[in-house]
Copies of this chain bind each other. A is one copy, B any other.
């Protein structure tokens, strides 16, 4: 049996036109992994390729620094592999770096922490240039209350009430290390909504943790949106974090456009 040659890649993608990272049997739609596998098969002229992502991102979710492992049937120069991949994959996926790695490296199990960001706007008009990159939540919300509520998620908790049901995982316990929520000056430096008639209010939610369950970030953001509009109280969030299962849903799954897998740290 031929030896496997393993590489890691840091990749960035705009998830708008994809059905998430992971190839899903029987499900329609393009995936990021599907595009990369297709290119690797072309480059190696072989079906003996295998890829693993550090986490699946859902349909419409973006990545600034997704880390993947690629196993190929023979050795290739990393810089050549990067160039060949970028030439073959669509422009809304870019390979930022390729490194030769040890066969023991696993992008999920070796990760020390992951950071997600969620960008949203409370404006009634979103710039045509940002609309696929920012979630719109056009309501009056209490950002200070959301900042306070976000602190409840810090530390080690059972996040079963902040996970999409039906996910197969050994444990729903995760640890959140950092959380922040700040206003930002939105938009490109060269593109801004004209001041006439529209002002853009952008906010950036940042969360860093040991790992995340399926839809966990979007459910946390949804709970904080509910808190910001006064639909739930801090005590509801606290209850959902201590009493696994059976508590009423405190959050909804916030829209995917604003979510980015920002960094995976090893």
Contact = CB atoms under 8 A, between A and B. Distances in A.
Given A92-B131, A133-B129, A97 B196 contact: yes
A72 to B, nearest CB: 19
Interface stretch (A7-15, A103-111, A143-151): A7-15
A55 B255 CA distance: 36
A43 interface: no
A95 B126 CA distance: 11
B94 A128 contact: yes
A204 interface: yes
Nearest to A192: B64
A65 interface: yes
Contacts of A130: 188
A96 B187 contact: no
Interface in A151-178: none
A125 B94 contact: yes
A12 B127 contact: yes
Task: Give the bracket for the number of chain A residues in contact with chain B.
Answer: 35 or more
A3 B189 CA distance: 43
A214 to B, nearest CB: 23
30 contacts: A10-B194, A10-B196, A10-B197, A12-B127, A12-B128, A12-B193, A14-B128, A14-B129, A62-B129, A64-B191, A64-B192, A65-B194, A91-B128, A91-B131, A92-B131, A93-B128, A94-B125, A94-B127, A94-B128, A94-B198, A96-B193, A96-B196, A97-B194, A97-B197, A119-B190, A184-B189, A185-B189, A188-B188, A190-B204, A190-B260
Interface of A: 10, 12-14, 62, 64-65, 82, 86, 91-97, 117, 119, 125-131, 133, 184-194, 196-198, 204, 260
